[in-house]
Structure 1
Amino acid sequence: MGFAEKRGNYYRARYNAGEGKYLTVLDCNGVVVKFGTKREAKKAADDAEADLRRAGAAVDADVRRAASRTALGSETFGDYVSRWYGDQDLAPSTMENYCNHIEGHLLPHFDAIALSAIERRDIKQWEKGQKALYAASSVKTWRSTLHLILADAVDENLISSNPATQRRGRGKRAGRSRDRGPERVVTDPVGLLLIAERAALLSGRDDEFLGVILKGYTGLRWGELVGLETAFARPRRIRVEWQLYELGSGELVRCPPKDDSYRDVDIPDWLSRLVANHISEVKAAPCVCHGKTYVFRGLGTPRTREHHGPKAEDVARLAGVSTGTVSNVLNRPDRVADSTRVRVETAIADLGFVSGGRASGHAAHWRRSGFAAWVFTPAASGWYPKKAPQEARPVPVTADGVPTRGRNSQGRATACWVPIASGFTPHGCRHTHRTVMDELGTPKVLMDERMGHIDGSVSARYAHVTPGMRAQLMKDLTRMWEWSLAARRAMSPRSHVAVLDRLLQELP
């Protein structure tokens, strides 16, 4: 119990420090505090004594925790991360990413090492080895996962500090990050229109044309575009309620949009008509995987776990021809001699062969990698990607710009496409839409709403979207669309893409 001690015209506070020893309350400079009243001194003494007891209890607890950590820290990284992963309850996509990071890149190096034995130099050595094999941006992502795991181990008092924490340089000017990737490629409305036209020429249908245009004029994420259901394609707006996220196994999971960014995205009247006309013309049926009707269909035949029944190779072997000839008989019979065609058709009938395309039609949904590699990238860059045994090659086209296909396509071509925006990706459409809105002077609050972003600043709390802002943006986007159509018609008044050809003919 503390007490107040009278010292001339003031009081000083005295408190028990243990073992019969009493101390005096001092200020931050080590000078005795002089109190004007006995009551103030008594209270200060009691508070100082209570603080001393709490500090002693904390020291005891630290000693106990340190002893516990000595035993718990011996748990291996592999054992801990298995328990850590089982405790997570996150979106399927996030769980899959964590699993890939852990099993593919962390466990091979840290599996048998005790948590308390992992040091900063071990992580640096691992990171150096990974960067020799993989892109720096990927290694940075895997290190972030390692940091998260070890941070949770610190919170559980298994280790005293996180060795994966990046130590920033002190006393040095911060420079441009060495691991920073190249700037995202964007394009303008004319470039977007030309890429959309080429995508439709490559696919042979209008879906890809509308998909690229819709993505470029709304900024939808890829999963939101693929997962756009007809019920949410409403007059003058797109409701973002779901997305289809593609897992590594190929499964498409129907889940909420990223960061729960539910929103309504306004679209101009001309785009609303394009979407409505597309839905009415396609007359899509509900997909077998989700039971929902989507605006866009996949390209090519559906994926199956295995092929049942005779294959094209079996037909070719029985008829004594190549698989290319079998493909021509099925898709371009006019290119095959009558005698050969009859022989192949007889083999088809004898074997009961049914082509995949005829048996199952289009796949239910676009696949990110296939769409990017064989439709979008060739449309933007003018080049097909490398695929063994073929090297990267320009897209061969006829004199009127239509891609040639099949055997000797390069020999039958008279030209090739020039690049429109090399390095442009489907996600670049989202960057393009944001850049276009910047050029138009769109208020930031409206841009964030359309992109599904959240601005947590105080100024953003007092900013609100008005009908006038929405109407002005729709006018500006319409003006840019009409300008791009006029520029396209100046190149050629017709198009081999049906939907674009109609739009060009409707121009005044």
Structure 2
Amino acid sequence: MGYGEKLKGYYRARYWEAPGVLRTLVDAEGRTMRFSSKRAAAKAANDQEAVIRGAAKSSPPPEKPTAPSEEAVNGGDPPSAAPAESDVQPGMTFGEYVNRWYAELELAASTMQNYKRHVENHLLPAFGEKALSAITRSDVGAWEKKERASYEGTSVQTWHGTLHVIFEDAVEEGLLDANPAARRRGRGKRAGRSRRRGPEKVVTDALGILLVSERMALLSGRDDEFVGGLTKGYTGARWGELVGLEPAFCRPNSIRVEWQLYELDNGELHRCPPKDDSYRTIDSMGWLSALIAGQIARVDPRPCPCHGRRYVFRGYGEANDAARSPGVKLIDVARHAGVSIGTASNVLNRPEAVREEKRGKVEIAMAELGYVRGAAPGEPAAHWRRSGFATWLFQPAATGWYPKKAPQEARPVPLLGDPWPGVPARGRNASERAEACWVPIAPGLTPHGLRHTHKAIMEDMGTPPKLMDERLGHLDGSVQARYSHITSGMRRRLMEGLTEVWEASLDARRAMCPRSQVAALDELLRDRTP
């Protein structure tokens, strides 16, 4: 006996072609027929079964089921609007369908990019030439097993999710009877599910945030990375939100998150709303607001050529790989010699205007550091780049090692031992001139790990979950969260707690050495002098 099966916005007719063989009623072109009511779909299915039984008595069954009459389709009900015509032809391949599917999407640029990468790199090579309707659950299982042999389980889960979305849309269009990528509940192994989870995110503490930020500034030769690292570690801002931070949204006691800059695979930085529309105001401690205000005053941001807007943090050099460019910068020479940048510049351009004692210090510093005039990177870029920042600034600061990059193997960051915590040696034979290297602070720590660190610090202080979610841009839809509210006292205690944590880390850093080659940190350390 046939029946009507409800789908999204319509019913389809399901009938038995033979014992154990269940079919869906289609029209002459092979498309699933849609009905406005369950009764109409069931009647059409029963009519089709009657046709099959009658044909079985007189002649072999037809190759395609005969479409019912208009009266049978509507079952006596008022005629419904004809279903929208589909441009999918019978026998269409997965590749043909997914190309049309992708062209019709209107999603965020980051989501479109991810879908395109998943489809082109992992789905089309496996299913592109297969007929859409011929792909089975076994085919999907075999593909997943093959992918897991070469890639991380969490990545394969992500690609499987994209495949599920594609098939689900095909089912909704009536092109498939069922989703072959759907996971059946209660099937498969339950043991070992935890092995599919990625490793736990590495976090650090307040002192780790400070030390990593200082090292990044030493590697870059400027204060931008010091202020940026502390801002990320003490606000929990996402990477794109930090890169897209504009001076207009930096207020005396808060940072307003209105935009982010998302970096696409082609290197383009897309200005878009924050993730999940997490617009919010992040409360800022007085000391952090002062550091950000000093950063803005120091760099005097200029409009970038890509968006025409001013941003708080500048990129490093003119290209993504500028952080590894050979050549010591003049600021490194000035710090090593204990003079101002202007004095170091005068030694090069107007040596007669510099006293012999200081000129000698600068010349010795140039020789020791291997300074070559004109070898340093040019003007700062308009924005940080994820790969350059994480690979050549953040990772060496957190681990003490530069990553492997052909033709060079992974290697320790070469340092000149004095003054503490060491001056990165650059230029020719930097490794041979090195006197020391950094010990790891938090191996495996990433820029996003500072966001996790910020939440860990707040949890350690007993911050209410509602306030933590607001600060991080998360949304908790539970009943408990609906009945929780943030008070001014909660905000005040959080600011006081984060300030206490910061001051304790600053005192711990001062106990290691009372001075720093990073100007912004050196001023803070001097202010902590009893």
Same structural fold, with TM-score higher than 0.5 when normalized by the shorter chain = yes
Are 1:489 and 2:522 an aligned pair?
no
Change (3 A) 1:270 1:60: same
Deviation of 1:73 (Å): 5.8
Q: State the identity as a percent.
A: 60
Deviation of 1:463 (Å): 1.2
Selected match of 1:363 from 381, 393, 396: 381
Paired residue for 2:452? 431
Selected match of 2:469 from 439, 448, 456: 448
Q: Which SS does the other structure have where 2:262 is aligned?
A: strand
| Structure 1 spans left out of the alignment, 5+ residues | 1-53, 305-322, 338-343, 346-353
Are 1:464 and 2:485 an aligned pair?
yes
Change (3 A) 1:76 1:367: same
Q: Report if aligned partners of 1:301, 1:356 keep a CA contact under 8 Å in 2.
A: no
Paired residue for 1:266? 283
Q: Report if aligned partners of 2:245, 2:311 keep a CA contact under 8 Å in 1.
A: yes
Change (3 A) 1:62 1:367: farther
Letter in 2 for 1:290: H
TM-score by length of 2: 0.74
Paired residue for 2:406? 388
Selected match of 2:42 from 51, 59, 75: 59
Q: Report if aligned partners of 1:395, 1:416 keep a CA contact under 8 Å in 2.
A: yes
Structure 1, residues 386-433: CA drift from partner, whole Å, max 9, x if none? 000111111111213121111111111111100000000000000001
Paired residue for 1:298? 315
Paired residue for 2:221? 204
Change (3 A) 1:94 1:364: same
Q: Report if aligned partners of 2:414, 2:424 keep a CA contact under 8 Å in 1.
A: yes
Change (3 A) 1:73 1:484: farther
Report 1:38-437 matches (<5 A). Answer: 56-61=39-44, 74-170=91-187, 175-302=192-319, 357-358=377-378, 361-399=379-417, 400=420, 401-437=422-458
Change (3 A) 1:61 1:432: farther
Residues in 1 aligned to 2:435 and 2:129: alpha-carbon distance in whole angstroms: 61
Q: Report if aligned partners of 1:116, 1:159 keep a CA contact under 8 Å in 2.
A: yes
Q: Which SS does the other structure have where 1:428 is aligned?
A: helix
Residues in 1 aligned to 2:256 and 2:270: alpha-carbon distance in whole angstroms: 19
- Further displaced range: 121-130 or 276-285: 121-130
Structure 1, residues 28-61: CA drift from partner, whole Å, max 9, x if none? xxxxxxxxxxxxxxxxxxxxxxxxxx76522245
Matched residue pairs, number?
Answer: 419
Deviation of 1:87 (Å): 1.3
Change (3 A) 1:292 1:192: same
Residues in 2 aligned to 1:464 and 1:94: alpha-carbon distance in whole angstroms: 33
Residues in 2 aligned to 1:491 and 1:75: alpha-carbon distance in whole angstroms: 69
Residues in 2 aligned to 1:460 and 1:425: alpha-carbon distance in whole angstroms: 30
Residues in 1 aligned to 2:277 and 2:494: alpha-carbon distance in whole angstroms: 24
Q: Report if aligned partners of 1:72, 1:158 keep a CA contact under 8 Å in 2.
A: no
Q: Which SS does the other structure have where 1:245 is aligned?
A: strand
Letter in 2 for 1:389: P
Deviation of 1:231 (Å): 0.5
Deviation of 1:120 (Å): 1.4
Residues in 2 aligned to 1:239 and 1:506: alpha-carbon distance in whole angstroms: 29
Q: Report if aligned partners of 1:329, 1:336 keep a CA contact under 8 Å in 2.
A: no
Deviation of 1:136 (Å): 2.3
Q: Report if aligned partners of 2:207, 2:509 keep a CA contact under 8 Å in 1.
A: yes
Q: Report if aligned partners of 1:302, 1:364 keep a CA contact under 8 Å in 2.
A: no
| Structure 2 spans left out of the alignment, 5+ residues | 1-36, 49-63, 68-85, 334-347, 349-362, 367-371
Change (3 A) 1:90 1:371: same
Deviation of 1:330 (Å): 10
Change (3 A) 1:94 1:55: closer
Residues in 1 aligned to 2:329 and 2:263: alpha-carbon distance in whole angstroms: 35
Change (3 A) 1:103 1:471: same
- Structure with the greater alpha carbon radius of gyration: 1
Q: Which SS does the other structure have where 2:151 is aligned?
A: coil
Structure 1, residues 174-233: CA drift from partner, whole Å, max 9, x if none? 554322111000000011111111010011000000111000000000000000001001
TM-score by length of 1: 0.77
Q: Which SS does the other structure have where 1:244 is aligned?
A: strand
Deviation of 1:86 (Å): 1.3
Structure 1, residues 303-327: CA drift from partner, whole Å, max 9, x if none? 69xxxxxxxxxxxxxxxxxx98xx6
Q: Report if aligned partners of 2:320, 2:388 keep a CA contact under 8 Å in 1.
A: no
- Further displaced range: 397-406 or 170-179: 170-179
Change (3 A) 1:201 1:336: closer
Change (3 A) 1:177 1:445: same
